[in-house]
Amino acid sequence: MCGIFFLGLILSTLIAYFHVTKWITTSVKDEQLTFALIAQATTEQWLSASKESINAFAEKTASYKDNIENNELLDVLIAQYTQSNQFDYLTISLEKNGYYRINNWQPPSHYDPRKRPWYKAAKANNQTTISGPYKSVDDQNIYYLSVSAPIFSNREFLGVVSGDIKLTTFESLFVNHIESESSKSVVNRFIIDNDGKIIAHHDKSIIGKILTTISRLTPDLHDSLPSIGLKGDVFVSEQSMYAIVPLSSLNLNLVVEFSKKELNQKLLTETLVLLSHFLIVFILVIVALYIANRNVVKPLFKFLELDNETELPNKKHFKQIVTSQYLKADTQGLLLIINLDYFNALTSSYSTVIIRQLLNQVKERIQKSIGSQSLLGVFSESRFVSFIPNSEIGKDGNNYILNQIIENLDKPFYIANKEINLSAHVGASKFPENGDNIEELINHAFTAFSVSRKHGGADFCLYSDEMKAGAGKTHLLLSALRNGLRKKELYMVYQPQIDTKTNTMISVEALVRWYSKELDRQISPIEFIPVAEASELVGLLGDYIIEQVFMQISIWREKGIYIPKVAINISPNHLMRKNFCSNLIQLVEKDKIDIRQIELEITETSLMENPQAALVVLKQLKSLGFSLAIDDFGSGYSSFQYLKEMPINKLKIDRMFVQELEYSSSDQAIIQSLVAIAKNMGFSLLAEGVENKAQLDILTDKGVFIIQGYYFSKPISAEDITKKLM
C-alpha cells in the first residue's frame, strides 16, 4: 500500500507540473500579448492622427501659395505643432528652389531636402505618406520616422511638408496610458524590422543588432516574423519573454520585453497549490478504497460535484439540492434557465483566462440579483440555472426580479482592459404551479426560454397563461402606452445590416423599445405593439417612431455621417391609414431627409390581408422615392401574382428559416428557393436572425450576402452606431 501511495504521489507531481506549466505559460502569454496589442493600437492611432495633422498643415501652407517663404504665420503654426510634442521637427520644403524651413535645427549648407527619401516618397505618392525609418544627418545612431504630405495649389505641386519624430519616442506614446499587472514586469520596449534588426532602442549600443543575437531566442524567429499576423505572438528565451506585434503602417514590429520572473513565480506557486490538491484527492481515494462502507466517504464526493470554472453546483448536484432542500419542503419559488447568448463567439475571441473571469463576474451579478436564500448552479458552458424561493421575490414580483437579472447582465463587463458586452435570455417556471418535480420544472423553463428567444433582444419569459390577459390588463397597458408616448419614454435602437462581401455596415434597422415608469418594467415590443395596432394608438405610435428615426438621421447628417439605408418597420394598420403618405412626406420635409435613405419594411402577412389596397399605397410610396422591403418573408402565404406586381426592392428572410439552418436540410432548401425567387424577380435579399458562423457560412454559400443578427451585432443605441462610423 505504501509503495502504491508513493508511486501515486510521484505521478501526481509530474502531472501537476506539466499541466500547470502549459496552463500558466499560456495565461501569461495572453496577458503580455494583450498589453502589447494595446501599445500597438495606441501607436497606430498616433500615426493616423499624425497623418491628419500633416495633411491639414499641407493644406494651410498651400493657402499661402504666393507667400510661403519666411511667412510668420507659418512659423506660428510650426511652433504650435511642435510644442504639442506630436513631432520633434516640422518642415516645409519647396520644389522650385529647394527652400527649406525647419524648427530647432540648422541644416548643413549643402543640404537639399528634395533629395531626401521622405520628400521623394510624398511627391511620388501624391498623398500623405508615412516613411522611414531614416538615420539622422547629425547622429547615425538616431532614427527618425517621417510623416509627409505634398503641397498642392490648383493641382500644381509646390513642395512637401513633413513632421519627424524619433523612433525612441514611441515608448512615451503608450506607457502612460497602460496600468496593469503585466506593465510591472516590462523590461524594454523597442522596434525591429521584419529581419529582426533593432531599429529603435533606448540603449544606442544595440541599435542595428539582430534580436536573436542579444536575446538568446532561437534563430528561427527570423522566419516567424513575417507570419505572426495582426494579433502578434510571444517568444520565450531563458531570461525574458518577448511580445511582438506588427506596426502595419510602418512595416515594422513593436517588441515589448517582459521579465520571466513573473512566469517562474506563478509556475512555482500554482504547481505547489495543484500538488497539494492532488495529494488531498489521492489520500481520499486511498481512504475510500480502504473503508469497506462507501457511505462513509460519500459526503466527501459532494465536494467534487462543482463546476471547475465558477465553483457552483453542476447540473446533477443542483438537481439534487433543489429536490431535497426546496421541492420536498414544498418551498414555492421560481426555477430559472439563464442563457448567455453567442457564447461560442466569445470563447473563440478571448483567452480561457478572460472567459473564466467573465463567467465569475456573471455569477456574481446573478447572485446579487437573486438574493442569498436562492441557489445558483451551472447547467452547461453557457447556461446558469437557479431556484429562487418566493421569500426572495417578495412584493416586487416575478417580472421585477427577472428584469433585474437581464439589466445586470446587459451592463458592460471590464476584464483585462477590455469591454465585453453580453445579452441573455431567461426562461422561468413556477413551483408548484408548473410542475412538482425538478425535470418538469426544467423542461417548462426551457420552453419559456425558447419563447423569449423568438422575441429577440435581451428578454425573459415566465411559463404561464398570463399572456392571455383580460380586457382590464389591456386597458392598463394602453393607458401606460399613451402616457409613455406623451412623456417620450419610448426610444430607438438600431441593428446593423452587414454586406458580407465587403464586411461593411450598409444599413440599419430601427427598432422601438419601451421602459414604462408607470408599470415600472421594460415592456417587450411583442407585448405592446399588438395592443397598439388593435387601438387608436397605432397612428400615434407609428408617427412617433418615424419622427424619432428622422430626428436621429438629421443628427447623424450634422456629424457628417451618412447611412445609405435606414429601415423602419411600418404597421399594416398604420400603412393603410388615410393620410399615411402625406404625413410621411411632411415629416421628410420637416427634417430635410433624403428619401433615398429610407427603407419601409412591411410584413408579408399584412400585405396579404388586403393585397389590392396595399398595392395602391406601395406604388405611391415607390413613386415618391422610398425603398420598400417585405419583412419576415416566407412566414406567410404570398400570392406570387401580387408579389410580382408589388414595387418591392428587398425581401427579408424570416428568422424561423435561419434558427435551425445548420441542422435542417429543409430550411436550407427553402433558403435556396427564396434566393432563386429574389433573383428571378430582381429583389435584393437579406437574412435576419443570424446568430452564429455556421448559419452565416450556409447563407453566403447559398447566395445571401446581406446579413442581420446577433452574430454581427445586437440592436444598439444611436450613440454606439455613431462610434462605429466616426
Q: Report which of residues 708 and 350 the model is more confident about.
A: 708
**Per-residue confidence at 43, pLDDT binned at 50, 70, 90?**
confident
pLDDT 10s digits, 418-466: 888 888 889 899 999 988 999 999 988 887 876 676 544 447 888 866 5
Residue 344, pLDDT above cutoff 80: no
Q: How confident is the model at residue 425, as a pLDDT?
A: 87
Q: Are 375 and 313 in contact (CB under 8 A)?
A: yes
Q: How confident is the model at residue 534, as a pLDDT?
A: 67
Residues 179-192: what's their mean pLDDT? 69
Tell me the one-letter amino acid at 293: N
**Per-residue confidence at 609, pLDDT binned at 50, 70, 90?**
low
**CA dihedral of residues 457, 463, 464, 470 (deg, nearest 10):** 10
Q: Tell me which residue has cell 534580436.
A: 211
Q: Are 163 and 89 in contact (CB under 8 A)?
A: yes
DSSP strand pairing (100-102 vs 89-94): antiparallel
What is the Cα–Cα distance from 141 to 205, expressed in whole angstroms? 8
Q: How confident is the model at residue 550, as a pLDDT?
A: 97
**Per-residue confidence at 579, pLDDT binned at 50, 70, 90?**
confident
Taking Cα atoms as reference points, which of 499, 506, 562, 495 lies closest to residue 718?
Answer: 495
DSSP labels, 296-331: GTHHHHGGGSB-TTT--B-HHHHHHHHIIIIITTT-
What is the Cα–Cα distance from 658 to 635, expressed in whole angstroms? 12
Phi, psi of 187 (to 5 degrees): -100, -50
What is the Cα–Cα distance from 708 to 686, expressed in whole angstroms? 7
What is the Cα–Cα distance from 24 to 263, expressed in whole angstroms? 7
Segment of 39-53, 88-102, 246-260, 570-584 carrying the highest mean pLDDT: 88-102
Mean pLDDT check: name the lowest of 122-136, 335-349, 393-407, 509-523: 335-349
Segment of 286-295, 443-452, 617-626 carrying the highest mean pLDDT: 617-626
**Per-residue confidence at 569, pLDDT binned at 50, 70, 90?**
very high
Taking Cα atoms as reference points, which of 149, 144, 153 lies closest to residue 87?
Answer: 144
Q: Are 76 and 290 in contact (CB under 8 A)?
A: no
- The mean of the pLDDT values for the chain is 83
Helix axes 580-591, 611-624, angle to 10 degrees: 20
What is the Cα–Cα distance from 148 to 379, expressed in whole angstroms? 58
What is the total residue count of the chain? 726
**Per-residue confidence at 637, pLDDT binned at 50, 70, 90?**
very low
What is the Cα–Cα distance from 255 to 647, expressed in whole angstroms? 58
Structural domains of the chain sorted by starting position, each given as residue range(s) with its CATH number in brackets: 2-31+177-263 (3.30.450), 48-169 (3.30.450.20), 305-465 (3.30.70.270), 494-515+535-725 (3.20.20.450)
The pLDDT > 90 percentage for the chain reads 37
Taking Cα atoms as reference points, which of 290, 201, 294 lies closest to residue 253?
Answer: 201
C-alpha cell at 600: 419601409
C-alpha cell at 210: 539582430
DSSP labels, 583-620: HHHHHHHHHT--GGGEEEEEEHHHHHHSHHHHHHHHHH
Long-range contacts, stretch 393-397, CB < 8 angstroms, 24+ apart: 393/333, 393/334
Q: Are 567 and 599 in contact (CB under 8 A)?
A: yes
Task: Report residue 263 CA to chain centroid gap.
Answer: 30
Residue 78, pLDDT above cutoff 50: yes
Residue 1, pLDDT above cutoff 90: no
**Which pTM value belongs to this model?**
0.40
C-alpha cell at 424: 441573455
Mean pLDDT check: name the lowest of 210-214, 332-336, 430-434: 210-214
Cα R_g (the chain), whole angstroms: 32
Q: Report which of residues 119 and 175 the model is more confident about.
A: 119
Residue 159, pLDDT above cutoff 90: yes
